Amino acid sequence: MKEYYYLKGIDKMGPYTLEELKTRGLSNEILVWCEGMADWIKIKDLKEIQEKLEIKPIPPSPPKTPIGLLIKNLGWPRIVTSFIIGIEIGRASCRERV
């Protein structure tokens, strides 16, 4: 019976049988290896595993910056208005200090 390893970050996990891999909840982009393979390959590319496992798709990446969330949720007009109001409030508080 073949034993498989998979990478979790930079850590090598295993060995696992196909049945044990099935319980791990792996995504289709996880790299796997077993004896006889030249290199690590994505689990979605290994036919013998694909037939036996229920592979979970990877969700899309979140926005790279918080501004991406603001644009998506508030839209440009509200962001620009908030930015301008913030500048004006900052100016007013500076004038009060002088």
* Phi, psi angle pair for 86, to nearest 5°: -60, -40
From first to last of the 98 residues of the chain, give the pLDDT tens digit: 889 999 998 899 999 998 888 888 888 889 999 999 999 999 888 877 766 666 666 677 766 656 666 556 555 565 566 666 666 555 555 555 55
| DSSP string computed for 36-76 | T-SS-EEGGG-HHHHTT--PBPPPPPPPSSHHHHHHHHH-H
Q: Which residue has the tokens 């990877």?
A: 58
The overall pTM is greater than 0.85: no
